[in-house]
Chain A
Amino acid sequence: MDLILPILRKEHKKHGYLSEDILKKISKKTKVPVSRLYAVATFYTMLHTEKQGKNIIEICGSPSCYLNGELDLENFLEKELNIEFGQTTKDKKISLYKTSCIGCCDKAPAMLLNGKAITNLTKEKVKTILKKCRS
């Protein structure tokens, strides 16, 4: 029996997202209907069915991060990137999301940059991250 989630994750990693075409190909290989693959792909926040920016930033909005000044960073990110959460910058360099707790509450505020946790965030730190993402 094929494990669907790991296959979806692998293809997601390869292509950056799961398009209809990609899902159809997976369906052919695994004999799992596209409808179900789509249902699974749209269930998890880390899987996307639309093309994403080169970098994905997900900032944690859960209580421990909130209590450590996350809200300021939210506003800062939106202003700096000139987009809202859930959107991608025009130059397709950065997609911006909010996430639930990522288990770094002892080093709050925290975010995931392309799946990797970055902790003890400050505006300065975020600025450097954005600079790297844009280059």
Chain B
Amino acid sequence: MQILEKTELKALKKARNLGPKKTISLLNKKGLTGRGGASFPTGKKWEFALKQKSKEKYVICNADEGEPGTFKDKFIMQKNPETLIEGILIASETIGAKQAYIYLRGEYENLKSKLEKTITKVIRKAKTKVNIEIILGAGAYVCGEETAIIKSIEGFRGQPYLKPPYPPVEGLYGKPTVINNVETLTAAAHAILLDNWNSLLRLFCISGDVTKPGVYELPAGIKLSEAMKLAKPKNPVKSVYFGCFGGCMPYKDIELTHDNICGEDCVSGSCTMIVVDNTRSIVDLAYVISKFFAYESCGKCTPCREGSVRILLLIKKIRQGKATAQDLNLLQELGEHIGQTSLCGLGQSCTNHILTSLKHFRKDFEKELR
């Protein structure tokens, strides 16, 4: 796997030789984009922060992967922490930050001590002035959102706030801050060092109704059937969910590119695929996912806080056989409005699964009407 290649501080050395500007143009040339879901060009992000004139700057490694069905950052932290730390050092030295934090989700507490040892070891070898500290989260899905991480580290409720200003301009404690996730920072070290680095290779997490769940490194654009051959579904596949937020599509042998997935009204985001086979009712999945969002809404803005609960109640009503066709229309309408009016990515995408399942699997819902 490309992501597991050890860079042995050679990437850091190369970045130091190149200097900040050339390092950033190299990243741009290689085409590294954020692997957390937003796909923002990493070099651009760093460039914004580099341009800011500030004595204090920060780098935050987002290790708060919480998207259901996603476990690739854990995989990297277990198997290649050295290269991740090197990536953090490269980001920090490039933008001129002396302090970096790893915001590690509370559920991954058991990774902390080994990571700390790796940090000490790598920092000693790298002879750097950058300090890296791990901050453990405490259970909040929304803290995967970058502004929520900032609030959480600053010691407030981890609730998102409206952008701009964007973190590279004004982030942690109001200072320029680069926030990248684990996979992105690790890939940054590879992109800088390896001449034959392949920007298309991504980590796919496949789980659900499959006999071989796991992390697979596959090129973006691979056929869905190829991915399924690896994960070995238990029964014929009915649908694939792109995590909880990405929506679902009926099984179709498309090439898994960003555009193709968008074409199914889904969002591929972090390459998470939850496989659902033909023994399932989509209404049950809608129930499980609606519970998730009602529970994880941070409560800051009304459409998401109230709307996620309304959706859950409607799904409950459908499952009890008490709903009418009108309720399905209401569900659709709510889904559209909540997405359009919520403040952060959580609220904006929390009804993707409703809208896509109503579109592709309306029959499953209609079967349960009064």
Chain A residues proximal to chain B, CB less than 8 Å:
1-6, 8-9, 32, 36, 39-40, 43-47, 61-64, 66-68, 98-108, 112, 115-117
Contact = CB atoms under 8 A, between A and B. Distances in A.
Given A63-B68, A67-B274, A105-B207, A32 B295 contact: no
A123 to B, nearest CB: 20
Contact of B68 (A1, A68, A105, A107): A105
B328 to A, nearest CB: 22
B295 A100 contact: yes
Per CB-CB distance, the 10 closest pairs between chain A and chain B, nearest first, are A4-B155, A44-B138, A45-B139, A101-B68, A62-B68, A46-B139, A105-B207, A106-B213, A64-B207, A43-B157
Given A3-B155, A32-B155, A43-B157, A103 B71 contact: yes
B141 interface: yes
Contacts of A117: 107, 110
B209 interface: yes
Contacts of A64: 68-69, 207-208, 213, 274
A116 B110 contact: yes
Interface string B34-51: 000000000000000000
Nearest to A44: B138
Contacts of B108: 103
Contacts of A66: 284-285, 288
B135 interface: yes
A45 B140 contact: yes
B158 A44 contact: yes
A50 B73 CA distance: 33
Contacts of B298: 43
Contacts of B138: 5, 8-9, 44-47
A108 to B, nearest CB: 7
A36 B136 CA distance: 19
Contacts of A106: 71, 205, 207, 213-215
Nearest to B276: A67
A61 B137 contact: no
Nearest to A37: B155
Contacts of B65: 103
B289 interface: yes
Nearest to A106: B213
B201 interface: no
B241 interface: yes
Interface in B303-317: none
A75 to B, nearest CB: 15
Contact of A5 (B110, B135, B241): B135
B98 interface: no
Given A44-B138, A66-B285, A115-B109, 10 more contacts: A4-B154, A43-B158, A46-B138, A64-B208, A99-B139, A100-B141, A106-B214, A108-B213, A112-B107, A115-B106
